[in-house]
Amino acid sequence: MTRLAYYPGCTLKTNAKNFEDSAIATAEKLGIELVEPERWNCCGTVHSLSTDDVMHHLAPIRNLLRMEELSNAGEVDSKQVVTLCAMCYNTLKRSNMVFNEDSDRKKKIQDNMYKEDIQYSGNIEVLHYLEVLREMGWDKVKESVVKPLNGLKVAPYYGCLLLRPRGIGIDDTDNPTIMEDMLEALGAEAVKFAYSQKCCGSYNTVHMKEVVADLAYKILKQAEESGADMLITACPLCEYNLGPRQSEVEKKYPVFKTIPVVYFTQLMALAFGLDEEATVFTGNKPDPRPLLRDKGLLEE
């Protein structure tokens, strides 16, 4: 087992527990132990874009310091940290970049963390779980597949923060293939669709849910018209806006037909033949299980 530091983030412990459970189980199957540090805090959720902002980089950098402590204590095998949530990934990675490239702000961040036992070196590498899989090789992922997802047409929804801005994203900003490659390794058919990188409305879901329903409608309808049976995502906020928020879409667009949206790790768990404690499809709205039963991928 390779031991890899793991940063969960807030929503992975609540609404997106199915994301975490399926990721940990699939990683284990691939020989990776995801090691969560005893203490961690909010990543900040959104990267602070103003040039004079120091305060909001403390939360992400403090998390990276926790990962460095894990590494120093020999509890993990590398100076890397893996995230599942696209927003955590983006925030941690960008703050790390600010820390390493802006010496003025680096000093201020360090000065504000004087109560820590050690100083953060800047040497932790932030990875997304999909990158870990790509690094391992899709052939290796394929070896773990016992139930290929034959006949399942899946639209990969990337959203924003996995790919943008340039230099931060896990794949080519304009023409990503990482999720398609993963789906292919699982035996599923990847469906390209025009809105796979269009924003779901993000945090506007709190006070402008009708607008988010418009965006979700466009994205989901496009996926369906392109032939997809379902969508996958890597972000708990996208999952919420495109999944549970379909009830709002239905209110606004009576013609709309619901379509399942799951985390990519859940499909991995299914293809790896893992049990329902690993797939946790009970946590998704709309329920993906009727579709998966229809396709012969899930027992009655």
For another protein, which residue of 61, 64, 160, 191 counts as binding (CB under 8 A)?
160
Alpha carbon distance 298, 300 (integer Å): 6
By the rule CB under 8 A, 237 interacts with another protein: yes
Complex with another protein: residue 115 or 207, whichever CB lies closer: 207
- Contact in structure between 1 and 33 (CB atoms under 8 Å): yes
For another protein, which residue of 28, 116, 214, 250 counts as binding (CB under 8 A)?
214
For another protein, which residue of 164, 192, 289, 295 counts as binding (CB under 8 A)?
164
| Residue 112, Cβ density class (10 Å: 0-12 exposed, 13-18 middle, ≥19 buried) | middle
By the rule CB under 8 A, 206 interacts with another protein: yes
Region from 128-136, 158-166, 260-268, 273-281 binding another protein, contact rule CB under 8 A? 158-166
By the rule CB under 8 A, 258 interacts with another protein: no
By the rule CB under 8 A, 194 interacts with another protein: no
For another protein, which residue of 67, 76, 87, 162 counts as binding (CB under 8 A)?
87
By the rule CB under 8 A, 177 interacts with another protein: no
Smallest distance from the beta carbon of 299 to another protein, in angstroms? Answer: 30
Complex with another protein: residue 149 or 237, whichever CB lies closer: 237
Rg, Å, the chain Cα set: 19
Alpha carbons within 13 A on the beta-carbon side of 240: 17
Complex with another protein: residue 11 or 96, whichever CB lies closer: 11
Region from 40-48, 127-135, 249-257, 267-275 binding another protein, contact rule CB under 8 A? 40-48
Pairing label, strands 2-7, 80-83: parallel
By the rule CB under 8 A, 103 interacts with another protein: no
For another protein, which residue of 22, 26, 45, 246 counts as binding (CB under 8 A)?
45
Smallest distance from the beta carbon of 3 to another protein, in angstroms? Answer: 27
Specify the 3-state DSSP secondary structure of 3: strand
Smallest distance from the beta carbon of 122 to another protein, in angstroms? Answer: 20
Q: How many other CB atoms are found less than 10 A from the CB of residue 157?
A: 27
* Nearest in space to 132 (alpha carbons), one of 124, 122, 140: 140
Q: How many other CB atoms are found less than 10 A from the CB of residue 105?
A: 17
Q: Which residue has the tokens 């990683």?
A: 27
| Residue 111, Cβ density class (10 Å: 0-12 exposed, 13-18 middle, ≥19 buried) | exposed
Q: Which residue has the tokens 């402008």?
A: 208
By the rule CB under 8 A, 104 interacts with another protein: no
Alpha carbon distance 106, 57 (integer Å): 10
Contacts with 126 (C-beta within 8 Å, 6 or more apart), sequence order:
64, 80, 81, 83, 89, 92, 93, 96
Smallest distance from the beta carbon of 36 to another protein, in angstroms? Answer: 17
Alpha carbon distance 15, 253 (integer Å): 26
Complex with another protein: residue 141 or 163, whichever CB lies closer: 163
Specify the 3-state DSSP secondary structure of 135: helix
Residues near another protein (CB under 8 A) are 9-11, 14-16, 42, 44-46, 48-52, 56, 85, 87, 160-161, 164-166, 173-174, 197-199, 201-208, 211, 214-215, 236-237, 240, 244
